Homo-oligomer: A and B are copies of this chain.
Amino acid sequence: MESARGGAPVDKAVDFANYFCTYSYLYHQKDMLSDRVRMDAYHSAVFKNKRHFQGKTVLDVGTGSGILAIWSAQAGAKKVYAVEATNMARHARSLASANGVSHIVEVIEGSIEDVSIPEKVDVIISEWMGYFLVRESMFDSVIYARDRWLKPSGLMYPSHARMWFAPIKTKLVEQKNQEYQKSLADWSYFAQELNEAYGVDMSTLTMPYHEEQKKYYLQTSLWSNLYPGQVIGDPVVVKEIDCSNATLQDIAAVKSRFSFTLSGSDRLCGFAGWFDVHFRGNASNPADKEVELTTSPSDTDTTHWGQQVFLLQPPLVIEDGDVVQGSIEITRSKDNHRLMDVKITHELRSSGEQFYPATVCNFFIE
């Protein structure tokens, strides 16, 4: 056990088994490299702001395949330190070499928290964002890198990040409820069979089983690429991060109130969370061209992040103009600091006859 970061104790070997190991597959890196929205944003950010890279030293936190480090070199960086925790590092090294930038890109295999960089850098570039921004808690490592290795006036790529939250309608609400109901019916059949065939009464485990299944089917947030039409109220920002000075304290928990005026006489099926990041440079050295990467619901520009959906069971019948207000609180799971517990409190103020009291729902980003 090493000391706590952002609340939860971290066993490095366990963290590797649970988290890093997926990144050691080219298959997984390819998924990220195939996300055009993501790739276009980082590519534009670097190549439309070459001035930030030319003749500069750069640190790529979590270089993966090495793509951002190679682009930084191609944009004119003098030196790029590309740090990667998994053995994907050796592929990044050969990719840099095959692309003629091995004299600029120095790949270092290890956790950013453990390795030593020979000098402080002008720019930190990193693609650290997880589902709903915060899943994976990788920004912790970026903060660590910034405080340890970035020059005082250095630049963060991206420079800003925001978490968005909105009310939605989705058929997932029926689908998941049906799956849940089916699993309860399965159990009841199973328990009866077991009792008849083997003389053991399982009924004492029925409630625990229901709870386990409820957590799985109803309380775990879902990945989805929603259409804009599924968003039934103006999205709100629940968190803004200035990457140049956010602290671990700032990001360890998110707490925000919301109030949505709902449109359409339909149903409120739940909420969705997503993020955007911006590449703006900093006040003393702004970007020549600001770039945005957004993962919001879109008909055309979908990403591998999609949105995280939190379902309300049952959905609420609404009328146009109804107001739903409440709060969202995101904290880290106490068992795994890279996963999140989400508490959503909501209350519907209806113009019509419907009345719903204030309700608290607990969710898990797994």
Contact B11 A205 (CB under 8 A): no
Q: How many of chain A's residues have a CB under 8 angstroms from any CB in B?
A: 43
Contact A26 B209 (CB under 8 A): yes
Contact A213 B27 (CB under 8 A): yes
Contact B205 A91 (CB under 8 A): yes
| Oligomeric state, in copies | 2
Least CB distance from A262 to B in Å reads: 36
Q: In the complex where A34-B190, A200-B67, A200-B99 touch, is A205 in contact with B13 (Cβ < 8 A)? A: no
Q: Which residue of B lies closest to A15 (CB)?
A: B17
Asked if A227 is at the interface (CB within 8 A of a chain B CB), the reply is no
Least CB distance from A264 to B in Å reads: 37
Residues from chain B with a CB closer than 8 A to the CB of A212 are 25-27
Contact A91 B208 (CB under 8 A): yes
Asked if A33 is at the interface (CB within 8 A of a chain B CB), the reply is yes
Asked if A116 is at the interface (CB within 8 A of a chain B CB), the reply is no
Annotate A293-307 by CB proximity to B: 1 below 8 A, 0 otherwise: 000000000000000
Asked if A14 is at the interface (CB within 8 A of a chain B CB), the reply is yes
Q: Which residue of B lies closest to A30 (CB)?
A: B190
A17 interface neighbour in B14, B30, B43, Cβ under 8 Å: B14
Residues from chain B with a CB closer than 8 A to the CB of A13 are 11, 13-14
Which positions in A face B, CB cutoff 8 Å? 11, 13-14, 16-18, 25-27, 30, 33-34, 36, 39, 43, 65, 67, 70-71, 74, 91, 94-95, 97-99, 187, 190, 194, 197-205, 208-209, 212-213, 216
